[in-house]
């Protein structure tokens, strides 16, 4: 099963001028050129001349998109390219600049004012009430079946819930709170909820980054769901960062760049490389590897001994100075738990010992690892890293406040200087350091979080999912940054479900299996296929072994 695949991540600084000129032809022309049906049957959704101006920036410039009945239409672009502005305008959150035209199944509607019944959304956060059951969540959207005096007819409601969920192959206790369900089960409920009340396949379903929070082995199940929706005749607008999904699922793809529609074209006409190139405007090398230095003879800077936790069962590890150690594995194997345990912020109690030989030869309890002050870039940026009410400056200095000024008093000039230095080093793109951090794109927010950790001048850095929700260009910038720091002696531990991350920057990869180091791979010459085998293939062999015992 090729469930894991590489996200396309790299750039070669080479410019192809003739490509560029072809790509920048007017969006309408591109749509018309690619659409022989125009004017024959009404499009499921058509938007033209859509611009949106924000204070200081233009989110969308004369964008046009056309979705045919029964197609899966992918929408791709880097962070800040205007994808979410387009989706939010369709969903009525944003008011577009005057002059935009929109129609659904031939019926015009006012963008930003009305949201037609036949246009439905599953947003990235799914919009579910996790404290309530699947049945309640579906009924909250579709309406409860009520008897006299407003009494809910629970038995009929239950039957209706099973009927709605039936078309998707999902096993789920519809009475338990969704908080207990897996991410993919929640996604099923959200999609089923959005489709309620449609019969005979009509309308357009917008899926905004549906796989962003899914573990990689569950992506396939989601794609099967999308196929099921298409089979019924409903069109899907599929927004995703992961290009491999688009090749697997989409019929046509619209590429956004800098607020403009670069092109709309059939997926069959592009490959990974050319699609990524349309997105970033420069050539892309799928085999990108950040220039890292392998240094097996450097001293050990981190040792773990017999670590136990919720998913970890007896893990031991040694990391050398200047290494970039990748941690891979399936979701249940402790890959997500390890980085938090190292930073002293594990959600479940951990046992085991940790030692930083460069600082002290004594072992200390991993449960007290917080005192070691190992900085962590958390996996969930919005909830665990960014203080969205704070400015860029306040977010960046949050971990180094004790170094700015003296005796608790903050020195404003010192703080501004530090922020200016780091935003420049990491090339953070922001209107100023005083704007709310929430106005930055995901990639730039991630750079701010990285800067927060690096400003402490650490000898050790832990990254969890460092490129989740980060666009291709920024991703490469992050790889090169980390590689450069490692060459100068920083030791980095990266845990990621994105194999592209691990392949692009690690010097060594450990594959966790059942909470222990199951395999160790040198990064030199390692291919994606070998890594996938190490994670998945041997897992099944391992399972078979267990079965025969």
Partner 1 sequence: MQRNDALRPVPAPEPGAVDTKRPNPSRLPMTTRWLRGLAFNRIGAVYVWLGIVVVFSIWVPSTFPTLSTVKQVFNANALTALAALAITIPLAARVFDLSFAYTMTLSGVITAHFLGVGVPLVPAVLLGLGAGVLIGVINAVVVVVMRIDSFIGTLATGSLIQALITMATGGTAIISTRLQGGFAKIGQTNVSGFTLPVAYVLVVAIAMWFLLEHTATGRRLYATGFNSDAAKLAGVRVDRLRFMSLVVSGSLAGAAGLVLASTIGSGDPSAGTSYLLPAFAAAFLGATQLKHGRFNAFGTLIAVLLLGTGTTGLGLANAPQWAADMFVGAVLIASLAVTGIQRRSVTGSPGRLRSLLQRFRAVAG
- Minimum distance, C-beta of residue 430 to partner 1, in the bound complex (Å): 6
> Cα(398)–Cα(387) distance, rounded to whole angstroms?
9
371 binds partner 1, rule: CB under 8 A: no
- Minimum distance, C-beta of residue 459 to partner 1, in the bound complex (Å): 10
- Minimum distance, C-beta of residue 65 to partner 1, in the bound complex (Å): 17
| Choices 17-25, 223-231, 472-480, 495-503; region in contact with partner 1 by CB under 8 A | 472-480
466 binds partner 1, rule: CB under 8 A: no
List the structure tokens of 232: 């019924």
Q: Interaction with partner 1 in 256-295: which residues (CB under 8 A)?
A: 257-259
Among 63, 135, 292, 481, binds partner 1 (CB under 8 A): 481
- Minimum distance, C-beta of residue 461 to partner 1, in the bound complex (Å): 11
Residue closer to partner 1 by CB (options 57, 545) is 57
Site mask for partner 1 (CB under 8 A), range 178-217, x = bound? ----------------------------------------
- Alpha helices (H) along 376-411: 392-396
Residue closer to partner 1 by CB (options 20, 434) is 434
- Minimum distance, C-beta of residue 31 to partner 1, in the bound complex (Å): 20
Query: Contacts with partner 1: how many residues (CB under 8 A)?
Result: 77
Residue 277: strand, helix, or coil: helix
Phi, psi values for residue 432, rounded to 5°:
-170, 170
336 binds partner 1, rule: CB under 8 A: no
User: Of 456, 469, 485, nearest to 324 (Cα)?
Assistant: 485
- Minimum distance, C-beta of residue 532 to partner 1, in the bound complex (Å): 29
Site mask for partner 1 (CB under 8 A), range 19-58, x = bound? -----------------------------------xxxxx
480 binds partner 1, rule: CB under 8 A: yes
Among 387, 417, 520, 542, binds partner 1 (CB under 8 A): 387
Q: Interaction with partner 1 in 97-116: which residues (CB under 8 A)?
A: 112-113
Q: Are 11 and 283 within 8 A, CB to CB?
A: yes
User: Of 469, 498, 491, 464, nearest to 336 (Cα)?
Assistant: 464
Chain position carrying tokens 């956004």: 256
User: Of 348, 401, 345, nearest to 371 (Cα)?
Assistant: 345
Among 5, 10, 51, 81, binds partner 1 (CB under 8 A): 81
Residue 509: strand, helix, or coil: strand
> Cα(535)–Cα(320) distance, rounded to whole angstroms?
23
User: What letter would DSSP give residue 167?
Assistant: T
120 binds partner 1, rule: CB under 8 A: no
User: Of 131, 197, 140, 132, nearest to 164 (Cα)?
Assistant: 197
Residue closer to partner 1 by CB (options 249, 433) is 433
443 binds partner 1, rule: CB under 8 A: yes
Residue closer to partner 1 by CB (options 71, 97) is 97
| Choices 38-46, 75-83, 124-132, 240-248; region in contact with partner 1 by CB under 8 A | 75-83
- Minimum distance, C-beta of residue 445 to partner 1, in the bound complex (Å): 11
Q: Are 356 and 320 within 8 A, CB to CB?
A: no
152 binds partner 1, rule: CB under 8 A: no
Question: At 302, which helix (H) or strand (E)?
Answer: strand 300-308
Phi, psi values for residue 283, rounded to 5°:
-75, 155
> Cα(261)–Cα(30) distance, rounded to whole angstroms?
9
- Minimum distance, C-beta of residue 184 to partner 1, in the bound complex (Å): 24
Q: Interaction with partner 1 in 486-505: which residues (CB under 8 A)?
A: 487-490
Q: Work out whether the CA dihedral 173, 174, 175, 178 comes out positive or negative.
A: positive
Phi, psi values for residue 411, rounded to 5°:
-100, 110
Residue closer to partner 1 by CB (options 229, 385) is 385
What's the helix, strand, coil split of the chain in %, to 5?
Answer: 35, 20, 40
User: What letter would DSSP give residue 384?
Assistant: I
Among 15, 22, 345, 359, binds partner 1 (CB under 8 A): 345
> Cα(212)–Cα(76) distance, rounded to whole angstroms?
14
474 binds partner 1, rule: CB under 8 A: yes
Site mask for partner 1 (CB under 8 A), range 402-441, x = bound? x-xx--xxx-x---x---x--xxxxxxxxxxxx------x
Residue closer to partner 1 by CB (options 477, 510) is 477
Q: Count Cβ neighbours within 10 Å for each residue of 46-80 and write b for 16 or more, e otherwise.
A: bbbbbbbeeeeebbbbbbbbbbbbbbbbbbbbbbb
- Minimum distance, C-beta of residue 386 to partner 1, in the bound complex (Å): 6
User: What letter would DSSP give residue 38?
Assistant: T
Residue closer to partner 1 by CB (options 81, 161) is 81
List the structure tokens of 217: 């082995």
95 binds partner 1, rule: CB under 8 A: yes
């Amino acid at each position: 099963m090729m469930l894991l695949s590489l996200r396309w991540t790299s750039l070669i600084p080479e410019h192809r001028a003739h490509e560029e000129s072809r790509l920048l032809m007017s969006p309408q022309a591109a749509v018309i050129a690619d659409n022989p049906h125009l004017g024959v049957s009404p499009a499921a959704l058509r938007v033209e001349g859509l611009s949106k101006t924000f204070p200081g920036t233009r989110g969308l410039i004369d964008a046009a998109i056309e979705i045919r009945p029964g197609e899966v239409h992918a929408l791709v672009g880097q962070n800040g390219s205007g994808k979410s502005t387009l989706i939010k305008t369709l969903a009525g959150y944003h008011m577009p600049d005057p002059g935009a035209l929109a129609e659904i199944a031939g019926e015009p509607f006012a963008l930003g004012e009305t949201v037609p019944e036949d246009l439905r959304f599953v947003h990235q956060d799914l919009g579910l009430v996790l404290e309530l059951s699947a049945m309640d969540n579906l009924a909250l959207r579709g309406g409860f079946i009520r008897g006299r005096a407003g009494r809910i007819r629970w038995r009929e409601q239950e039957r209706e819930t099973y009927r709605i969920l039936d078309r998707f192959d999902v096993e789920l206790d519809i009475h338990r709170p969704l908080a207990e369900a897996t991410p993919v089960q929640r996604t099923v409920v959200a999609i089923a909820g959005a489709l309620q009340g449609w019969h005979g396949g009509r309308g357009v379903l917008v899926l905004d980054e549906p796989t962003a929070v899914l573990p990689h082995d569950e992506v396939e199940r989601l794609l099967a769901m999308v196929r099921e929706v298409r089979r019924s005749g409903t069109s899907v607008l599929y927004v995703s960062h992961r290009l491999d999904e688009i090749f697997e699922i989409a019929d046509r793809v619209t590429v956004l760049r800098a607020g403009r529609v670069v092109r709309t074209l059939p997926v069959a006409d592009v490959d990974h490389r050319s699609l990524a190139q349309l997105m970033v405007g420069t050539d892309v090398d799928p085999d990108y590897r950040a220039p890292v230095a392998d240094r097996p003879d450097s001293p050990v800077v981190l040792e773990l001994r017999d670590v136990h936790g919720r998913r970890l069962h007896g893990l031991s590890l040694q990391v050398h100075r200047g290494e970039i150690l990748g941690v891979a594995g399936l979701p249940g194997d402790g890959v997500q738990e390890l980085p938090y345990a190292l930073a002293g912020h594990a959600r479940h109690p951990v046992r085991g010992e940790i030692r930083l030989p460069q600082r002290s030869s004594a072992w200390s309890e991993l449960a007290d690892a917080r005192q070691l002050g190992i900085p962590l870039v958390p996996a969930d940026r919005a909830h665990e890293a960014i203080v969205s009410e704070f400015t860029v400056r306040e977010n960046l200095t949050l971990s180094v406040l004790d170094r700015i000024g003296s005796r608790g008093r903050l020195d404003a000039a010192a703080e501004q200087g530090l922020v200016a230095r780091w935003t420049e080093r990491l090339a953070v793109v922001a209107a100023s350091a005083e704007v709310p951090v929430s106005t930055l794109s995901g990639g730039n927010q991630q750079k701010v979080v990285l800067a927060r950790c690096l400003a402490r001048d650490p000898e050790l850095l832990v990254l969890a999912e460092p490129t989740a929700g980060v666009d291709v260009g920024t991703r490469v910038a992050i790889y090169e940054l980390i590689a450069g720091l490692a060459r100068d002696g920083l030791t980095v531990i990266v845990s990621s479900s994105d194999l592209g991350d691990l392949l692009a920057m690690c010097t060594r990869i450990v594959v966790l299996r059942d909470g222990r180091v199951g395999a160790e791979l040198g990064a030199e010459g390692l291919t994606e296929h070998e890594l996938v085998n190490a994670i998945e293939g041997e897992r099944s062999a391992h399972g078979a072994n267990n079965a025969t015992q």
